[in-house]
Amino acid sequence: MSNFKSEVIQRLRADIRSKLDQIGAFVDNELADYIMVLVANQKSKYQMKDDLSLFLGAETDQFVNWLANTLKRLQLANQ
């Protein structure tokens, strides 16, 4: 994430909040911030699924796959 611009990071944070709200998991900013830490630490999809399953339950796979695709799209756009 260090190579992303500040506005891209803010957009990603907003998109994460929106997606969490869409799947009924958004309660406050702490989960979105935690997910941003996972992204910054370059956790693998497997690690993210393991770390987020407690919070997202059955929606974990869908969310992590969405997040991975979103990150790929941002990386391509940032090149």
Give yes or no for a contact between 4 and 43, defined as CB atoms under 8 angstroms apart: no
The tokens for 37 are 């830490």
Interval 15-34 mean pLDDT = 91
Q: Examine the pLDDT at 2 and tell me if it is beyond 70.
A: no
Predicted TM-score (pTM) of this structure: 0.86
Residue 79's pLDDT band, with cuts at 50, 70 and 90, is low
pLDDT value of position 1: 52
Is the Cα torsion angle 40, 18, 32, 11 positive or negative in sign? positive
Interval 2-11 mean pLDDT = 74
Task: Quote the CA–CA distance of 23 and 62 in Å, as a whole number.
Answer: 9
Q: What's the mean pLDDT when you consider all of the chain?
A: 89
Task: Quote the CA–CA distance of 48 and 65 in Å, as a whole number.
Answer: 10
pLDDT value of position 40: 92
> pLDDT tens across 40-61, in order?
999 999 999 999 999 999 999 9
